[in-house]
Structures are given as structure tokens and as C-alpha cells.
Structure 1
Amino acid sequence: MNSLWQTLTLATIPLHQWRRTSYLYHLVGLLQRWRRSSWLMQWGDELGFCLLALVFGLAPFVPNALIGLLLFACGGYWALLTLSDETESPTIANRNGLTPIHLLILLYWGIATVATAVSPVKMAAFAGWSKLTLYLTAFALMARILRSPRWRSYLITVYLHISLIVSVYGIRQWIFGANALATWVDPESPLAKTTRVYSFLGNPNLLAGYLLPAIALSVAAIFAWRGWMPKLLAGVMAGINTACLVLTFSRGGWIGLVISMFVLFVLLMYWWSIRWPQPWRSLAIPTLLGGLAVFVFLAVMLVDPLRDRVFSIFAGRGDSSNNFRLNVWAAVIEMIRDRPILGIGPGNTAFNKIYPLFQRPRFNALSAYCILLEISVETGFVGLCAFLWLLTVIFNQGWVQLQRLRQLGSREGFWLMAAIATMAGMLGHGLVDTVWYRPEVSTLWWLMVAIIASYYTVPPRPESLAMPAALAS
């Protein structure tokens, strides 16, 4: 059974053999002679970090078109780094960050490419495919650069400081008021006149999705950063980011927050339990579950706006937002039945071309408002299976590397725990909302995947495959 699981999660895949037989990998090193003579490329990782810092530093404040241009630059620069790699280096797999996660992402990209080719709206699907390609090449650059603990910490720090600015402005909107830019609350709800903050992002649900990673990472920073002042700053970040997310009154964001905090605290308990005596190890998880349940119950019961918003989740079609999603989901399921194998092609442009043929009257939608339904309608059940396989490999790799770092007692483990928890929370949020596909949030999703991938270590080769010491010398 263990062998089957390792095969499924590619835990023991011999990447060195794949590199020797892969036609794609033969492109690596084509420009290595140029790189040796280039003065600028001596600062390869530094330049890559600067590009990534621009993406996460500007994302909340600039139009999506500029984010797309920066992502294009990231993808092009990753291609340049890869083509100019030193193929003779025995640590090439470590330097370029190739992992089993990369192989599953390549598989999903290939399925999306085929779905684009057979789409009934090929040009619209090509636009979505282009965006997906930008995200995935940016992930490849992140996974490569973030293998350095220094650049990993620096990039997380950039994002946390930007999210603090975003959260402070959001709390200012709560204090001084802000005009709703759209109908975000049922007009007949007790919360119809409640301010829902949206900061620089223009939408409270989008702001909640943007802040989810910031909360988990700022909690992790309390333990990962050295010195009392940085730890105090991390605590302030965690409090302000959490308060701002709560004030978005985004039910999907709240669901994601509860899931991510639950996963993070469970992982923290596991991390620290290695030093605890046996009775405390057995009681840690039940105590945590009980404490979280009591806290959530008291918060819901004692805070009127919070109670009204939470209870609206269970109002069914009695809440206009719920009714809207139920009608959209019903139409999307019909779309999936029409093209179940490879879907209609990736992207919201293709979705907007096909959805009107299936939509219920008066229920226009920009997407499926659910990650799993969106992937199914875009790339069919083939793409959905590949995506679920990818998630399995990602979380397995995260767990394996967390165990390794736990044994070493490395502070890097806190960033890994935050990334795992954030992904769980973003998936929970994405099950009932559409913000997962917006650049401000999607780039953060792939940052979390890249953080997990950056911890990958090459498993030891079996003795039968290892090069004899005499030949190696």
C-alpha cells in the first residue's frame, strides 16, 4: 500500500532518468556559453527576485494588464535562465528546482492545451490558455528562485508589507465608510447597510482572497523571524490582516480563514509535539479543536453582524447570493454534461461565450463560482483528474518535507506550514467564489505552490542506479 501511494504521489520518481530521456530537457543549456560571458547574468537570481517582487509589490494597485505584462517578463526570464543553465553541474536538478510538482503541472498544462485545440470557441480559449501559461511560467521562476532561503524570506516579506498597507486602508474604510461599488449584500438582509471593506482591490470577496495567505504567513513569521521587533511586527500584521478580512464580510473568505487557521494550528501542534511528553501529545489536537470551536461559537453568538452573515450561509435560496450561485452551478453542470471529456477550453473568455447558451434567466455570471466546477467545465473530467492528482502530489510533498524539517528543527518549516494551510484555505474559499482566477489571488496561489516545491529534496538513488564511486571520480 505504501509503495502504491509513493507511486501515485511520484515520491520516488527518478528525475535524473527523466531528464536523460526527455526531449524538452535537451533544450536546457543551449545558451550556457553566452551566460558564461554575460556580466548581467551573473546576477541571475537577483534579477529574478526583482521581477517577482514587482509582481507582488504592485498587484493590488495596478491594472490587470500590467500584472500580465510582468508575468510575461517572469516567464521569459525563466526561459532564459533555463536555456542558459550549466548542464554539467551535478546539482542541476536542485538549481533549476525541478520537482514532481512540475511534472504534474506540465501534464495539466498539456491537457489545457488539448482542450484549447478542440474548443468550440478556439480563439477565446486561446486567450485563457495564454493567461494560464503566464501563471505557470511565473510559478516555474518562483520555484527556482525560492530554493534559496534568503530569497524565499525576502519575497514573503515583500508580500506581507504590501498586504499590511492594503489591510490598513481597508480598516480605514470601515472607520470612515466606503461606497459599495456593486450589490454585495442582499438588499433585504439586516446587513444591507453594513460597510464591506474592499481596500485597493475594489471587491470585498477579492480582498478576502488576497489576505488569506497574508494571515497564515504573518502567523508563521511570528516564529520564523528572529528578534522581538520583527516578531512584534508579525503579530501586528496577523491581527490587522485578520481584522480586515473579517470586515470584508465575505462568507467564502471566512470559510477559507477557518480552514487555513485550523490546518495551520494542527501543523504547529504537530511541529512542537516532538518535544512534548506522551500525555500532552494525545491531548493537543482535541484541545485545539475544542478551543477553536468555542472561539468561533462565541464570536458568532456575540457579534450581531457576524451572526447574521454566518446564518445567511444556511438560508438556501432565501439569500439572494446563495440563490445566484445555485442557479449558476445548475447551468454549469449542464455545460459539463455537454462536453464532459475536455470541456470548452480554459479561461473566462471561453466561459462567457458558452455560458449564455445554458444560463438561467437573469443570472449572468463571469465564471462557475466553484473551482472544481470551473476546472471541469474548462478542461473536462480529464483536467479535473489531473488537477486533483496535482493537489495530491503537492500536499504529499509538503508533508514529506515538513517531516524532514521537523527532524532538523529548521525555522524554514514555519513558511512551509503556512503555505500548506493557505492552500487549504484558498481551496475552501474557491469552492464558493470566483476570485481564485483573478491575478491578485491566482499569483498568490502559485506562490504557495512554489514555496512547497522549493523545499523539495532529491531522494537518494537506489544502489543499483547509483554511479560507482570509481567512475564518479
Structure 2
Amino acid sequence: MQQRTLDILDKVLYGLIIALFVVIPFSEAGINIFAGLILIVLVATFVITRSVRGLDRGIWQPILALLIAGLLSLFFAADKGRGLHKFLSPLVKYVTVFVAVALTARTDSRRRWLTAIMLVTGLISAGYGIYQYGWLSIRRVYSFSYNPNVVAGYFAVLTALSVGLLTGVKSRLWQFVFSCTTLLGLGATVVTFSRGAIIGLVASGFVLFTMLMSKAKNKKAVLVVSLIICVVLVALTPDMLFQRFRQIADLENSSNRQRILLWQTAWDMFLDSPIVGQGPGGFSAQYEKFRLPGAGDFVSAHSVFLQVLAELGLLGFGACLWLGVLICRVIYAQLSTSDQDLEFGISLGTLLAAVTVLIHGLVDTAFLRTLVGTSMCCLAGLAYSIGLHHKDESSETVSP
């Protein structure tokens, strides 16, 4: 009877995850609704089994450390109402999505379907963004989102996944398909004119180039092809993007000046409470108290790293770092053991997406926005599930 109930819950959870993947680029409210339902099913599973089946015990340590750090920070927060809201979203929401996908996407078929849904819905959003730029003459596109920088982070994740899949597959047909998805995702990222997202993609491209050069038998061919791709991409880049990059060195530029003031404000908040921070959502709650002369009205620190330090302190930042390094280490190890194109492509795409999001996070808080953070956690869950799948297979083989 218990096993039948668990099987039903598993199917319900998988259905909710499919629904979540479908709505990610289109509705923030939809993401929150399905993430909440997923959390309820996970809790129900835990109540029945007294454990979450199939997830490596090692991953629970940093997850629990992060949740405890968030609760401690919330306890000392000045605005506990706002802090509770921000603790639940994004902190609990991101953990829920990652755990649910890692547990549920345990078969090749499920991973294939979820990857396909992520690509198709992402390409619809990217196509609409390019339509906004080409036909509606929108200067900086935002697709179905509300902010060009946020949707740029999402398009960058989509592009990184496409590049990973393109690198992993051997079929000419699928190479063509993923070449098209890569170009569409990259084009959509460019017309957001988000410098942070584009720099993140360049950094992930450099990481990929380094990996290919280290393993290639014909290094000269890899170098030549890479140079040709770079020249073509630069030649196709709109002039407006070059203008925006030239503004980076101009410290009198209002955008640059405001970012510097925000970074200093976040650092001051961290120094004020270095251990537990100002609490989830504490940057916006305490902004007026720490606001510097000349700073505008903002609700984020324009840097994921500084905002996490300001809000969760060293405890929360350390837990985030621990969890991120553990996930990336597990996924990186899969690159040498994955014997299937899809598994290798998802693992590589996730690592490239992580590089992109982290570099973008130096100058923006896109990862803390629902669209980018949820898509990244879904992708990380997919990649992490591959290791769990192989571990289960090996244990079944060894057992008598």
C-alpha cells in the first residue's frame, strides 16, 4: 500500500515538474504556484518514508547548512515579514526545484523529455525576443519577462545548454538542430544588450575552448575554428552593443556610478552584520539606512555575491559556496564517465551555464530573480540526476 502511494506521488511530482518546465519563460506566478505544489508533494513523500529516496546523503549537508543559515539570518532580520517572504522565495523555492528535479529525472526518458521541454519553451521565448527587436523595434528586448537583464540571464542559460548538447552529440542531424538553438539563444541574448550576460557567455566559451584544447588531438584545427567563430560573431554584433561596452570604462556614466554606490552599500551592510547578515530581503529593507549620497532608488545590490553577503552573511555565503562547489564537482566528474551524448551534453551545458550565471552575477542579481534562478536550478537538477542514476545502476550490479 505504501509503495503504491509513493508511486502515485512520484507520478504527480513528475507531472508538476513538467508543468514547471513549461511555464518557466512565460509566467513567474506559474513558477511560484508549481514550485509550491512540488514542495507539498516532497513533504508528503518525506512524511511517508521518513527520508527522501534516491538523493545522495552528501548533498543534504550543504542544503541543510544553507537553510539553517537562512533561518538564523531571518531571526536577526529587522523586517521579519519581508525576510520570511524572501526566505521562502527564492531560497526554499530554489532548493525545492533542485531536489525535486534531481530525484525525479532518474531515467534517460525523463531527462530527454525535460531537456526537450526546456529547449522548446526557451526557443519560443528567444524567438519572441528577436521578433521584438526586428519587428517591434524594441531597443532592449525583454521577451515575456519585464527586464532585459533578467531575460538575458535566462537566454544565456539556454545558450550554454545548447552549446553543451552541440558539443556532446555525434549525429549530424542533432548537431544541426543544436547549432540552430545555439544561434537563436545567442542572438536573443545579444539583443537584450546585457553586458553582464554576454561577458558571462564569453567566459563560458573560453572555458569550453580550454577543455577542447586539452583533449583535442588536432589542437590547431580547434584553434582555427574557434578564431573563425569569434571573427564571425564580432562581425555580426550590432554597433549598439559595442557602444554599451565602451561605456564600461566611463566612471562618469550614470549606470556605472550607481552600481559602484550599490556595491559599496552592500559591503557596508555586510560589515555591519558579517556573520548572519541583514536577513533575507535585507538589502531592500535596510537600503534607506545604509543609502549613500547620490544613490538612486534600488532594491538589489547589482551583484549576487555582495547581496548574499549583505543578506545572509558569512554563514549563508559559505553554505552557498559549499553547495555550488559540491554540485559542480559531481557534474564535472560525469564528463569523463558519461557514455551517452545526452548525459555528456547536459553535464557540459550545466557547467557552462554555471560559469555564465556566476560571471553575470558579479555585476547583476539576475540569478536571484525567479526566471533565471529557477531555470538554472532545473538544469542543475537534471545534471545531478545523471550521477544518481549511474550510482543506482552500479549498486544494483554489485548487489547479489
Asked whether 1:389 is paired with 2:347, we answer no
CA deviations over 1:289-329 (Å, ceiling 9, x no partner): 76676566x449x75223212211222x2222111101111
TM-aligned CA deviation for residue 208 of structure 1: 0.5
Q: Is the aligned partner of 1:52 residue 2:11? A: no
How far did 1:36 drift? 2.8
What amino acid does structure 2 have at the position aligned with 1:69? Answer: I
Matches within 5 A, 1:30-429: 33=1, 35-38=2-5, 41-62=6-27, 64-85=28-49, 96-131=54-89, 132-178=91-137, 195-222=139-166, 229-269=173-213, 273=216, 276=217, 280=218, 298-299=234-235, 303-315=238-250, 317-347=251-281, 350-360=282-292, 361-405=294-338, 408=339, 411-429=342-360
Q: SS of the counterpart of 2:155? A: helix
Distance change >3 Å, CA 101–CA 265, structure 1 → 2 = farther
The CA distance in 1 between the partners of 2:4 and 2:320, in whole Å, is 41
Task: Give distance in 1, aligned partners of 2:15 and 2:137.
Answer: 34
2 CA distance for matches of 1:230 and 1:285?
Answer: 20
Count matched residues: 393
Q: Is the deviation greater in 98-107 or in 419-428?
A: 98-107
Distance in 2 between residues matched to 1:178 and 1:158, nearest whole Å: 29
Partner SS, residue 26 of structure 2: coil
The higher-RCO structure (CA 8 Å, 6+ apart) is 2
Decide whether the 8 Å contact of 2:164 with 2:352 is kept in 1.
no
- Bigger radius of gyration: 1
C-alpha distance in structure 1 between counterparts of 2:49 and 2:115, whole Å = 26
What TM-score does the superposition give when structure 1 sets the normalisation length?
0.75
Counterpart Cα distance in 2 of 1:369 and 1:446:
20
* Residues 153/389 of structure 1: CA separation in 2 closer, same or farther (3 Å cut): same
The verdict on how the C-alpha distance between 1:128 and 1:284 changes in structure 2, with shifts beyond 3 A counting, is farther
Bigger mean CA deviation after superposition, 388-397 or 108-117: 388-397
> Structure 1 residues 241, 410: CA separation in 2 closer, same or farther (over 3 Å shift)?
closer
Tell me, in whole angstroms, the C-alpha distance in 2 between the residues paired with 1:268 and 1:455.
22
How do residues 13-32 of structure 1 correspond to structure 2 at under 5 angstroms? Answer: none
Distance in 2 between residues matched to 1:339 and 1:289, nearest whole Å: 46
TM score, norm. by length of structure 2: 0.88
Q: Name the structure with the higher helix share.
A: 2
Matched, 1:449 2:383: no
> Which one of 364, 371, 385 corresponds to residue 433 of structure 1?
364
Instruction: Mark the CA change 1:115 to 1:288 in structure 2 (over 3 Å): closer, same or farther.
Output: farther
1:381 alignment partner AA:
L
% identity of equivalent residues: 27
The AA in structure 2 aligned to 1:356 is E
Whole-angstrom CA distance in 2 between matches of 1:324 and 1:120: 25
CA deviation map 1:48-107 (0-9, x unaligned): 222112122112222x333212111111112223444498xxxxx8x5222533321221
Q: Are 2:94 and 2:374, in contact at CA under 8 Å, matched by a contact in 1?
A: yes
Partner AA of 1:383 in structure 2: G
Does the CA-based 8 Å contact 2:54-2:388 persist in structure 1?
no
Q: Distance in 1 between matches of 2:7 and 2:319?
A: 37
Matches of 2:60 and 2:225 in 1, distance apart?
A: 35
Contact in 1 for aligned 2:24/2:375 (Cα 8 Å): no
Segments of 5+ residues of structure 2 without an aligned counterpart are none
- For residues 63 and 3 of structure 2, the distance between their equivalents in structure 1, rounded to whole angstroms, comes to 30
Contact 1:101 1:453 in 2 (8 A): no
- The residue identity in structure 2 corresponding to 1:312 is Q
Higher mean alpha-carbon deviation, 391-400 vs 327-336, is at: 391-400
Structure-1 separation of matches of 2:98 and 2:213: 30
Aligned-residue CA RMSD (Å): 2.9
| One-letter amino acid of the counterpart of residue 54, structure 1 | A
Judge conservation of contact 2:21–2:117 (CA < 8 Å) in 1: yes
- Distance in 2 separating the partners of 1:101 and 1:421: 21
| Cα distance in 1 for residues equivalent to 2:36 and 2:306 | 27
- 1:351-394 Cα shifts (integer Å, max 9, x gaps): 22211111124411111111110110111122222222222222
Is the 1:209–1:441 contact (alpha carbons within 8 Å) kept by the matching residues of 2?
yes
1:232/1:410 CA distance change after superposition, 3 Å = closer
Deviation, 1:457, is 5.0
**What CA distance in whole angstroms lies between the structure 2 residues aligned with 1:303 and 1:166?**
21
Distance 2:172 2:229 in 1: 27
Tell whether the 8 Å contact from 1:125 to 1:344 is kept in structure 2 after alignment.
Answer: no
In structure 1, give the amino acid aligned to 2:122. Answer: S
Structure 1 residue ranges without an equivalent (≥5): 1-32, 88-92, 180-194, 461-465
In the TM superposition, residue 219 of structure 1 has moved relative to its aligned partner by 2.5
- Of stretches 230-239 and 169-178 in structure 1, the one that deviates more from structure 2 is 230-239
